[in-house]
Structure 1
Amino acid sequence: MKAGTPDLAILGQRIRHFRGERGLTLDQLGAAVGLAGSQLSLIENGKREPKLSTLDALALALGVELAELLAREAPSRRAALELELGRAQSSPLYASLGLPPIRPVRGVSDESLEAIVGLHHELQRRAAEAIATPEEARRANTDQRERMREQGNYLPDIEQLAEEQVRASGHRAGALTHREVSVMAERLGFQLIYVNDLPDSTRSITDLANGRIYLPPASIPGGHGLRSMALQAMAHRLLGHTPPSSYDEFLWQRLEINYFAAACLMPQEASVAFLQVAKKERRLAIEDFRDAFGVTHEAAALRFTNLATSQLDMTVHFLRVAGDGALLKGYENDGLPLPTDVTGSIEGQWVCKQWSARRAFEHTNRTTENYQYTDTPAGTFWDATQTGRTDAAEFSITVGVPFNQAKWFRGRETTVRAVSTCPDEACCRRAPDGLAERWAGQAWPSARLHAHVLSPLPSGTFPGVDDAEVYRFLEAHADH
């Protein structure tokens, strides 16, 4: 439209409003301005742009000033609702529903329009929340980490639930077996089924209609992973989870199911008994805790953080760090100054090069934990670090405590010591003056950018999961 004229839909509504007030039909007003009734109908429905001469004629025929006809607000509440409905039904979100449009004819009351438009607004709000942008993910992760820090990383209700479920399976001691996990599933009315064709976007799928939990093949290496995935799937039912309405809720549900699985694989009563004996004998070690319950080093390290403060009366920190030094996951309630960005997020931040979590990559012997004391601006900390590797990259797992609590751990006698002054950039981020002077302005590296840093998780009922693939999978297996 020409500059100064309103949105075509609003203009059409205003023409219809004034025509109705004057008691004119489409044909009567059309005849007054030299248009067929069908042509005027297109203008009123916002589908044709009128000429300026036509606008002048319409204003004259309706007895209003041209400026009033061209005002940018809807002429009535009803008109505003019709405009909102039109915009909502022309959106990609509405198109994705596959529903026919609703025409706001006279028989549709204002109250009905209010309800329909309100539903559209809620759909838009939920769709916006379900798209987990990197910023939203960082904010949600930070909120969750702070929440767990306040609770000492300990969730007593889930601890109790896990103890009850493990006892009911017949488990008494040692590592939780696959058979005992299957019994737990059967008590909930589910059968564990191992398949080769799970959708790439899923780790497991629960068929609520037929009482099945689909998992990857039982022959893949690492029994801990399969037991954990089955327990996580069961946790959704035991904890009464419903489809998440926000990314915050999605993350919290994921934390809860991971916590439940860990609490089953390393039950509190048995774990605390094991750790208390080790503490009394001053030989606490994550690798011993890991081996006693047949889990991964990371699972044992995280489980230790659940129990350390509430059950062993000690503060602690945990780090999972990528081979390039980026912090992938972290927790602390002992004052260790984790690197953060301006929003308080730690994910993706570089860990100090002097910390054990990074220096461990330099060691040739990667089969045992590496021990180190590190002096920081917040005090001295003792760390035990174990390195590992996935198909994609290497990583390190670190559990540490303040200096005065190192006495309970094996490895406390280490003479390895480092000094870290981070976040002061002079510590490990800034090149020496001579080197910087020589090469400043002479280098142009090509940065390696991880695509997931910029990409939001695909939206769906569950962020990151392709609903269509899941439904096709279930349909293919429903009759088996």
Structure 2
Amino acid sequence: MPTSALELSTLGHRIRHHRVARGYTLDELGALVGVAGSQLSLIENGKREPKLSLLQAIAHATGTDVTDLLSPEPPNRRAALELELERAQTSPVFRRLGIEPVRVTKTMPDETIDAVLGLHRELQRREREAIATPEEARRANTELRLRMREKNNYLPEIEQLAEKQLRAAGHTGGALTHRSVSVMAEQLGFELLYVDDLPHSARSVTDLENGRIYLPPASIPGGHGLRSMALQAMAHRLLGHTPPTDYADFLQQRLEINYYAACCLMPETASVAFLTQAKKDRNLAVEDFRDAFGVTHEAAGMRLTNLLTQHIGIPLHFLRVDGAGAITRVFENDDLPVPMDVTGSVEGQIVCREFAARSAFAERNRTTEHYQYTDTPAGTFWCSSQTGKTREGDFSITVGVPFDDARWFRGRETQKRAVSTCPDEACCRRPDAELTRRWDGKAWPSARVHMQMFSPLPRGEFPGVDDGEVYAFLDRHAQE
């Protein structure tokens, strides 16, 4: 039986449609089914839920069946318009306006409802555009980071879903192959196609009508493998995602599809067994974890944030830092003093020069991990860092733990030690006093402006994606 207001409204419209089609008034149908016409009016207006016995009587009197009355589809165009208007006028976007909803009457023309709906659609479109502002993005990202910190970055439902899909595809262990990923796609009704004309604003495109997932012909530099991209595209379907309602919803969906891909590439059961043995051997290492499952160093480091605290009991931190020292990805539940602005946002902040995440750039050998202890106002932390390079420049990946937990990790014997007093500006943010006296007022540098700061995101249903370009791409390939 219906429970939501929308379901009751749809049911009411379908009852009214069949009553009118039979030529009955409310009182006439009421007399046939044994209730007052006023009671039927409440049901038709979605104000009251009828009992099953009454529904059966109404179905019999109007020459239909209960299944037809309970159909979620509006019975005609007028009903569809009224239901859409009802949904629009109960949305958070409309309620925030503080104005009274439009009351639909029998004499109101369809064209009037269409016009009001047009205004609602434009309101929703503008709301979606507004969600992509940098301020909103930073706020939503901070809230999501804090929520995941409380959960130790662990989502058990997605872990279980991934293992179920892997078993169904016949994957039993070792690195997940491209063939196994293709089988997983086929079981969902999709074919993986690799094309060289993807829209510039999209990493992949899913054609829901024809059951195709379009991917680039080669991995994107920086570690975004084709297996991961295909798994992320599938995750949208498996997790029941709908077009994001706001930027926070978009970020949550992105986190979930990335998490699902990581669970498939590094399954929980096998990963925990590997990490448990490595801890027992006092030989935990990101590079071993990476090589055991055939993933990138960054992927292995991020996967540790999902599993190390939840299953092994070790808090940790993860940092991806660019060549200028700015944080691009972060997780910490070990109280590492990471820099943040007044809103609590961390991404884009510059880490201390004394952190291994920055000092690793000075190392000559960048093919191995570098280890360091760092004394901070919050305690001493051990960490391992490795650097890499993309078209955008250098980056480092750092995974670290509090001093007492370093005993479980390879590299704990390092003699390299640094002291950071950040956020005290005297640590590394304030220029040398003698140099300041020498050059203060005598220098005028020309700043390098990052033009992407001023570039608006393409407008579309999904933040940052050009809908027109995507639709043209799909139409082009649908004809092949």
> TM-score per shorter chain, which class?
0.7 to 0.9
User: Could you tell me whether the CA contact under 8 Å between 1:134 and 1:454 is conserved in 2?
Assistant: no
User: Could you tell me whether the CA contact under 8 Å between 1:133 and 1:455 is conserved in 2?
Assistant: no
Structure 1 distance, partners of 2:256, 2:361, is 32
Give me the TM-score of the superposition, normalised by structure 1: 0.75
1:439 is matched with 439
User: Could you tell me whether the CA contact under 8 Å between 2:222 and 2:389 is conserved in 1?
Assistant: no
Give me the TM-score of the superposition, normalised by structure 2: 0.75
Q: CA-to-partner distance for each residue in 1:27-81, whole Å, 9 max, x for gaps? A: xxxxxxxxxxxxxxxxxxxxxxxxxxxxxxxxxxxxxxxxxxxxxxxxxxxxxxx
User: Could you tell me whether the CA contact under 8 Å between 1:371 and 1:412 is conserved in 2?
Assistant: yes
Question: Match of 2:325, SS?
Answer: coil
Partner AA of 1:332 in structure 2: E
**Does 1:380 pair with 2:380?**
yes
The Cα of 1:401 is off from its aligned counterpart by 0.5
* Superposition map of 1:80-95 within 5 A: none
Gaps of 5+ in 1: 1-106
The 4+ residue runs of structure 1 with deviation greater than 6 A are: 219-224
Question: CA, structure 1 residues 177+305, in 2 after alignment: closer, same or farther (shift >3 Å)?
Answer: same
Question: CA, structure 1 residues 200+377, in 2 after alignment: closer, same or farther (shift >3 Å)?
Answer: same
Question: CA, structure 1 residues 221+112, in 2 after alignment: closer, same or farther (shift >3 Å)?
Answer: closer
Question: CA, structure 1 residues 220+133, in 2 after alignment: closer, same or farther (shift >3 Å)?
Answer: closer
1:231 is matched with 231
1:147 is matched with 147
* Superposition map of 1:112-131 within 5 A: 116-117=115-116, 120-121=119-120, 123-131=122-130
The Cα of 1:457 is off from its aligned counterpart by 2.3
Question: CA, structure 1 residues 397+226, in 2 after alignment: closer, same or farther (shift >3 Å)?
Answer: same
Partner AA of 2:194 in structure 1: Y
**Does 1:337 pair with 2:337?**
yes
Question: CA, structure 1 residues 175+224, in 2 after alignment: closer, same or farther (shift >3 Å)?
Answer: farther
User: Could you tell me whether the CA contact under 8 Å between 1:130 and 1:245 is conserved in 2?
Assistant: no
* Superposition map of 1:304-319 within 5 A: 304-319=304-319
Question: CA, structure 1 residues 376+218, in 2 after alignment: closer, same or farther (shift >3 Å)?
Answer: closer
The Cα of 1:479 is off from its aligned counterpart by 2.6
Question: Match of 1:304, SS?
Answer: helix
Structure 1 distance, partners of 2:398, 2:165, is 30
The Cα of 1:327 is off from its aligned counterpart by 0.8
Structure 1 distance, partners of 2:219, 2:329, is 29
Question: CA, structure 1 residues 108+454, in 2 after alignment: closer, same or farther (shift >3 Å)?
Answer: farther
2:461 is matched with 461
Partner AA of 1:285 in structure 2: A
2:348 is matched with 348
Structure 2 distance, partners of 1:217, 1:138, is 32
Partner AA of 1:370 in structure 2: H
2:423 is matched with 423
Higher Cα radius of gyration: 1
Alignment size in residue pairs: 375
Question: CA, structure 1 residues 252+130, in 2 after alignment: closer, same or farther (shift >3 Å)?
Answer: farther
Partner AA of 2:337 in structure 1: P
* Superposition map of 1:55-134 within 5 A: 109=108, 116-117=115-116, 120-121=119-120, 123-131=122-130, 132-134=132-134
2:68 is matched with none
1:87 is matched with none
**Does 1:370 pair with 2:384?**
no
Question: Match of 1:245, SS?
Answer: coil
* Superposition map of 1:260-299 within 5 A: 260-299=260-299
Structure 2 distance, partners of 1:335, 1:165, is 35
2:54 is matched with none
Partner AA of 1:336 in structure 2: L
Structure 1 distance, partners of 2:416, 2:460, is 49
Give the superposed CA RMSD.
2.1
Q: Percent identity?
A: 67
Question: Match of 1:399, SS?
Answer: strand
Structure 2 distance, partners of 1:393, 1:385, is 17
The Cα of 1:437 is off from its aligned counterpart by 1.2
* Superposition map of 1:389-428 within 5 A: 389-428=389-428
The Cα of 1:420 is off from its aligned counterpart by 0.2
